[in-house]
Homo-oligomer: A and B are copies of this chain.
């Protein structure tokens, strides 16, 4: 894809420098040692879910595909590497010709994952694969963290729509990715215009307290807003006195007023009072939007309140306590030599502490009971058992360097709903717990 097609302010000409320095020094040393071309398999997985979480949400895969396609070293990048003396001339030459030519398989975006799930598998020469580690992890760790929080919030909100409005609480481009991830996780709309531009997510918004304060009276402000945006607009009613503002809002917009927004105070109490007042004023169809420091627990606690939509900012873009996932990108197998026919050997770090891995190129399948409910995440390195052949999770994303699996974001969003519906009901409980299904290994080689 030409980068010009990608959209814009949120795109960058090349993703090649979103890379840790050591990827390039490893490349240089492997080129010199003659090991750079050994066929290698890297897997992305997490050793654990964030504490208390029942499932993870694979998100960012579409952005990974863009990043791999745009990973190339042009003159500016090469000049920088040369001037800083980061790698030698031979390595610079190799980088100048770099295009990923390998294969990538992965869980389809929106699918759920569990500890050990190989959410992405990158296969090719060591050299071409190792370079992609940093940018792939940046994308998946960020986007999946946001989507996991969004998914829990969507479960808590039930059929009421969620508005993503966290742009101001995170890096300006992370915000765009966060809107995308929130949409995958079940949010309906975003406040972020760049997310609307880049990903087509519906954008919404009407006014802030500043707009009321700009005007001489709340009446002037409401009048100005309704004159410009119509009676279907959402009026913010908590700048001064809520009861007076609600009265004024219906007086000015009429009973066809679209919605009122409450951004402070005891939302449960205020929502009940405002609903009663709106109904008394005949504005029975006017909706109530609440937007004050919400997280999945606050949303759940408002389930019985007369609230029609939730706006979520800070807690969404910071992953509701878990702003990143702990996904890693590990070499799990590599060829004995650079001979293209050399067999793959499983490899794994075997040292102190919890940082060990299971070696070998893995398949993954989700075992289900007779009702179709997931029972276990099964990972293996040998043949796939007959009863799991149709339950496999990995799909082909990149074939010989070419992206083969782009899809619209709405398909990803739908897939997440289906994936969640296939889990035991307790997956949607907000209370802390273990992964909702266990991970089982069927490893055919000693590790």
Q: 0/1 per residue, A285-312, Cβ < 8 Å to B?
A: 0000000100000000000000000000
Whether A224 contacts B33 in the complex (CB less than 8 A), given A138-B175, A331-B213, comes out as yes
Q: Which residues of B contact A213 (CB under 8 A)?
A: 331, 334, 347-349
- Given A142-B170, A169-B324, A213-B349, A26 contacting B240 (CB threshold 8 A): no
A240 touches B350 (CB 8 A): yes
**Which residues of A338-380 have CB atoms within 8 Å of chain B's CB atoms?**
347-355
Total contacting residues, chain A, CB less than 8 A? 118
| Least CB separation from A220: chain B residue | B33
Partner of A225, one of B29, B142, B167, B352: B29
A133 within 8 A of partner (CB) = yes
Asked if A406 is at the interface (CB within 8 A of a chain B CB), the reply is no
A67 on the interface (CB 8 Å rule)? yes
Binds B, one of A15-23, A103-111, A247-255, A416-424: A15-23
Copies of chain A in the complex: 2
A168 and B33 in contact (CB under 8 A), knowing A207-B26, A355-B264? no
- Whether A20 lies near B193 (C-beta < 8 A) is yes
A168 touches B196 (CB 8 A): no
Write the residues of chain A forming the contact surface with B, with a CB cutoff of 8 angstroms. Answer: 8-26, 28-33, 35, 38, 40, 42, 67, 76-77, 80-81, 84, 86, 88, 126, 130, 133-135, 137-139, 141-143, 165, 167-177, 191-194, 196-197, 203-211, 213-216, 220, 223-225, 227-229, 238-242, 263-266, 270, 292, 314, 317-319, 323-324, 326, 329-331, 334, 336, 347-355
